[in-house]
Amino acid sequence: MEEGERSPLLSQDAGGQEPPLAGSSPLTPSHPGPAPWEDQARRAGPGRVLACCFPWGSSFLKCLIFLSNFVFSLLSLLALAIGLWGLAVKGSLGSSWGGPLPADPMLGLVLGGLAFSAVSLAGCLGALCENAFLLRCFSGGILAFLVLEAVAGALVVAFWGQLQDDLEHVLRMAITDYQDDPDLCFLIDQVQLGLQCCGVASYQDWQRNLYFNCSSPGVQACSLPASCCIDPWEDGASVNDQCGFGALGLDEDAAQRVVHLEGCGPPLLQWLRRNIWAAGGYTIVVVVVQGAELLLATQLVRALAVHKRAAEREGLSTGPPDSVPSPLPNWSRADWQVRQKTRAPGWGLGLQASPPLPGKVSE
């Protein structure tokens, strides 16, 4: 080496310390090291990030998301199974195969159970595996449910008066199609048994039904359903289907001893008005739970993103050029090892000179 040249590798003094530089090198950042919370995230993973954001602990947060969605998944799968069982018992699946979907309430139970179970399972697996994609799918599903619930609530509020006015018309149509739809038959029977009523305005509304009309040639002519009877069980274990036979042909004094004379229109309207606030309360609870699930999933996704960025910064600062892109593409592994060996304790804080460039080390 000539007298006027000086190698950067020999620039240390007798004590083994390099003289500090006024400015930072191209390879050394001038700003201080990573923030404490980022350094903590690099060392401990997303769990410690969540522990910083949530004082009760990251494990509690992930367990809360997993357990709540696990319970919702079980309930959704149960609803799906009940819906499929109902369609299979009534033969709706086999009769409509390849054709249009049946207008069956059980079909709504099947579709709702399928949608809720898919979203809940995505939340379970996303929280358990810390998968950001599944958590985003879960958040999107919850957001879609919230939008649909908001639209349905707005429609109910907007058309509540019209729904009350059309209630008697809907009941009369249900009486007309009583024998044609098993689900409608079950619904009418439950309303009449629960409210202890018969018909819409009075028990004579069953004259609209072709089977119960007194001019019908069938055996049910001038009769009423068993749900109209005052004591349909007649002290027995099962309902007596013939308790209402011939009740439409009796006068009111004789009929009132056997069946209910009052219609179901006014009692059903009063029942709806009494329970509308309870239904609204249940809806608010469901919306709050879904909003909390959405918030927790969003926080977990953010924590995973922070951990990913911190891990990438850690890899860029310490990883070899084979696995992480180097600031100088023409460096070899040997040059990288020389840089690691000659790095001073203050590396990363802007307190030492830059490592030598390849080919500049004097022999």
For tokens 């809360």, the residue is: 64
Mean pLDDT (the chain) is 74
Domain assignment present for residue 280? The answer is: yes
- How many other C-beta atoms can be found within 10 angstroms of the C-beta atom of residue 224? 26
Taking each helix axis from N to C terminus, what angle separates 167-176 and 182-195, rounded to the nearest 10 degrees?
Answer: 120
pLDDT at 141: 93
What CATH code is carried by the domain that includes residue 205?
1.10.1450.10
pLDDT of residue 233: 77
Q: What angle do CA 185, 189, 194 make, to 5 degrees?
A: 150
- The reported pLDDT for the residue numbered 148 is 93
pLDDT in tens, the chain (363 residues): 444 444 443 444 444 444 444 444 433 444 444 444 444 444 444 444 444 445 454 567 788 889 989 999 999 999 999 888 887 877 665 554 544 555 677 788 889 999 999 999 999 998 888 888 999 999 999 999 999 999 998 998 888 888 888 888 888 888 988 888 888 888 899 999 889 999 998 888 998 888 888 888 888 888 889 889 888 876 666 777 788 888 888 888 888 888 988 989 889 989 988 888 898 899 999 999 999 999 988 888 888 888 788 888 876 655 554 544 444 445 555 665 566 556 544 444 444 444 554 554 444
d(CA 7, CA 276): 86
**Phi, psi for 262 (deg, rounded to 5):** -75, 140
How many separate domains does the chain show? 1
Q: Specify if 272 maps to a domain.
A: yes
The whole-angstrom separation of Cα 74 and Cα 278 is: 25
Quick check: is 268 in a domain? yes
Residue 223 in domain: yes
Output the pLDDT for position 330: 54
Query: Per the domain annotation, does 294 fall within a domain?
Result: no
Tell me which residue range forms the domain holding 205: 159-289
The answer to whether residue 218 is domain-embedded is yes
